[in-house]
Chains A and B, each alone.
Chain A
Amino acid sequence: MVKRHHAAGYTLLEVVVAMAVFGLFLAILGVLTVEMRSQEKRLPVNFLRHPQVIVVISKLRRDVQDAFGPNPYPASFAEYTQTPQTLIVQSVQPSGGVQTIVWDFRTTGVVQRHAWNVGVPTNWTSRGLPAAFQVDAVEIPATAAKLSASPQQSSAASRRPWGVRITARDGKGRVAIDQILQPRAHE
């Protein structure tokens, strides 16, 4: 009498089915990863979803919108000068006084706001920000007639250099933040 050998393990069919299901999972994962990667490549990092960035932009907007005086952007103040990484602005306060504010973007990933109110300085710092913040002056034509030429072509005399343009790029150099801010009229 031949003793039947009892083999432990899986049949070929079971292994093939298991591999097919696993392969299906891998294929789905691969397709989704490729889709996500293509999306990441196309769009810049969405910095405006980050609370720290939102706070910086909000404070900056308020300071620029409340810019006041015949020259609200002095060329220098204390040890600071106007540069693409430094913005100096004189801004009116709710109480009516004018304070000088320096936005300092020189340190990578850090933004500092220094405010001098009747000579008394206060400092505010925000961290974890995009590396490439930049401040530019933007000159906005005052009339439609001047707008008929492109902003670059219209004469400098016809424009008032009151606007501030804030840009920030993500790690791959794509523009992620681009905001033009202008002072509002104050009576």
Chain B
Amino acid sequence: MRREKGFSLIEVLAALLILTLVITMSLAAFVERNKRLRQASEIILAYQALANEAEYRRRIDFSMLDAAPQQFVSDTSVLAPLTPFGTAVSVQQTQLGVKNVTMTVRWNNGQREAKLALVRVDTGGSNLW
């Protein structure tokens, strides 16, 4: 009987399976890493805009918080890379003399959002900011 050199079909298939697994896992890890890096960069931009808006909102008189615009009034040019994006501000009275001002940035067709809540307390007229 002639002695053949080489690999059997099973050996080749097993090797290909392992190779495919390694490639798939490496690819998935790389794609996930990229995605998380992108999300981290986006979040940092969003929180800068949120913090800037908070500086505006903390200067509004307590009694006027509800009447203030429900969109960001601060410059949102830092959010340009997230275009199209949306901003929203909501005010909720949690108890007498205390209001929660919640600022939201949404992007990626509303699938991603970042929120920052500011608790405002009625200081009795002085604009303590």
Contact = CB atoms under 8 A, between A and B. Distances in A.
Interface of A: 21, 24-25, 28, 32, 35-36, 39, 42-44, 46, 48-49, 140-145, 147-148, 150-151, 163, 174-175, 177-182, 184-185
Nearest to B76: A178
A49 to B, nearest CB: 8
Contacts of B48: 48, 177-179
Nearest to A28: B27
A185 B77 contact: no
Give the dominant DSSP class at A's interface: mixed
Contacts of A147: 56, 60, 64, 68-69, 73
17 contacts: A28-B23, A36-B34, A42-B81, A43-B41, A43-B42, A46-B41, A142-B60, A143-B61, A144-B64, A147-B56, A151-B56, A175-B80, A177-B48, A180-B52, A182-B55, A185-B128, A185-B129
B38 A180 contact: no
Contacts of B73: 141, 147, 150-151
Most-contacted residue by chain B among A43, A144, A175, A177 (CB, 10 A)? A144
A168 to B, nearest CB: 11
B79 to A, nearest CB: 9
